């Protein structure tokens, strides 16, 4: 008996439908668009964070527990309340005194204007020691924290834009509180901007001392945003510059050179380190020339081999003597 052979099992062939090119193109487009959107969002976030960090950097804490007293100076704490709403300004009034902390009457006062990411101690160049030298030489000294710096309330450092108004407010307050007569303002680096601009505006200020000043804030920022952000210039700088006024809440306009060029009856001393890699020492020469051309008294000193704003550290005797001689000659 013969067996019936089973039919061979054949694999069913599945026919593949051709891909719809429109659907494929749509998927590719959506993927590309998603990548672009994510890249733009990351770019925008990185730029925004950078701009915010430039305008509102971490505060430098005060080092001295009891301020000038730790260097054997008597002093008085003051506070200007309700400045810019709930903001305030705090500072120290350090009167002229001898080496034993005994008060020595003086009608001459120097008001300090600190740098970006600094405070009223100005420890980056031993500021309290400079203050001690000044008060032992017959000058009252006022030093304070700008809003957003040190122990003052508020936020943001605007490189001279708002700080000019704040310094004028300090001059008003301290003149009334301490009956100040002859006034000098002394600013350091970015703090030199408001010192020059406020000093040129206020008739009560006789002498303006600027250590390592910039010429014009807008021009400086236009050329150096990439240095501050540490991000590629062609990708981020224009965007970050557009955000700075937004985070600052004000236009970043401050032109010390313009102020000096139109100043009247002022005495200027410009100090600079030859090896300044932030603001070139030639700025000081430009300032002195502009001040003299406007009919003001002006002098300058460039300290050989000294980096940015460190004249008092690298050449303390020469620095102090230059300052004291100029103050003595021009605060009569």
The whole-angstrom separation of Cα 122 and Cα 114 is 7
206 sits in which H/E element: strand 205-211
The whole-angstrom separation of Cα 255 and Cα 47 is 26
The band of 25, judged by pLDDT with boundaries at 50, 70 and 90, is: confident
pLDDT digits 0-9 by tens, 61-81: 999 999 999 999 999 999 999
- The single residue listed with the structure tokens 């301290």 is 174
The whole-angstrom separation of Cα 292 and Cα 294 is 5
The whole-angstrom separation of Cα 192 and Cα 122 is 13
CATH code linked to domain 64-216+254-330 = 3.40.50.1820
The band of 27, judged by pLDDT with boundaries at 50, 70 and 90, is: confident
pLDDT digits 0-9 by tens, 149-186: 999 999 999 999 999 999 999 999 999 999 999 999 99
Domain limits of the chain? 64-216+254-330
Q: What φ, ψ does residue 186 adopt, rounded to 5°?
A: -135, 115
Query: Once rounded to an integer, what is the mean pLDDT over residues 45-66?
Result: 93
Give the pLDDT confidence score for residue 34 in this predicted structure: 86
pTM to 2 decimal places: 0.90
Q: Please answer whether residues 191 and 278 qualify as being in contact, where contact means their C-beta atoms are separated by less than 8 angstroms.
A: no
Query: Once rounded to an integer, what is the mean pLDDT over residues 297-318?
Result: 97
Give the pLDDT confidence score for residue 228 in this predicted structure: 87
- What stretches of the chain show up as alpha helix (H) in DSSP? 21-55, 127-135, 161-178, 192-201, 217-229, 233-248, 256-261, 282-293, 311-314, 316-330
pLDDT digits 0-9 by tens, 231-252: 999 888 999 999 999 999 999 9
Q: How many CB atoms lie within 10 A of CB 304?
A: 10
């Amino acid at each position: 008996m013969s067996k019936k052979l089973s039919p061979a099992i054949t694999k069913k062939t599945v026919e593949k439908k051709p891909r719809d090119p429109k659907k494929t193109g749509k998927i590719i487009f959506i993927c590309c668009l998603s990548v672009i959107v994510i890249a733009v969002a990351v770019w925008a976030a990185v730029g925004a964070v950078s701009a915010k960090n430039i305008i509102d950097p971490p505060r430098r804490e005060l080092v001295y527990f009891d301020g000038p007293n730790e260097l054997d100076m008597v002093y008085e704490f003051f506070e200007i309340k309700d400045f810019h709403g709930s903001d305030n300004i705090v500072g120290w009034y350090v009167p002229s005194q001898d080496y034993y902390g005994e008060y020595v009457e003086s009608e001459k006062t120097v008001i300090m204007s600190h740098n970006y990411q600094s405070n009223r101690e100005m420890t980056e160049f031993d500021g309290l020691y400079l203050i001690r030298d000044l008060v032992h030489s017959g000058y009252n000294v006022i030093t304070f924290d700008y809003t957003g710096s040190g122990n003052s309330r508020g936020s943001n450092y605007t490189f001279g834009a708002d700080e000019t108004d704040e310094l004028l407010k300090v001059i008003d307050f301290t003149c009334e509180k301490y009956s100040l007569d002859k006034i000098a303002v002394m600013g350091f680096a970015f703090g030199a901007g408001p010192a020059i601009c406020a000093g040129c505006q206020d008739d009560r200020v006789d002498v303006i001392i600027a250590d390592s000043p910039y010429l014009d804030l807008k021009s400086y920022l236009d050329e150096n945003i990439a240095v501050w952000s540490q991000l590629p210039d062609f990708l981020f700088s224009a965007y970050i510059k557009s955000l700075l006024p937004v985070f600052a809440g004000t236009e970043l306009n401050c032109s010390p050179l313009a102020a000096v060029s139109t100043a009247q009856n002022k005495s200027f001393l410009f100090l600079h380190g030859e090896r300044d890699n932030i603001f070139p020492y030639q700025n000081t020469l430009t300032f002195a020339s502009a001040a003299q051309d406007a009919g003001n008294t002006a002098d300058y000193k460039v300290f050989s081999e000294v980096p940015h704003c460190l004249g008092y550290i690298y050449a303390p005797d020469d620095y102090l003597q230059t300052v004291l001689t100029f103050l003595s000659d021009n605060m009569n």
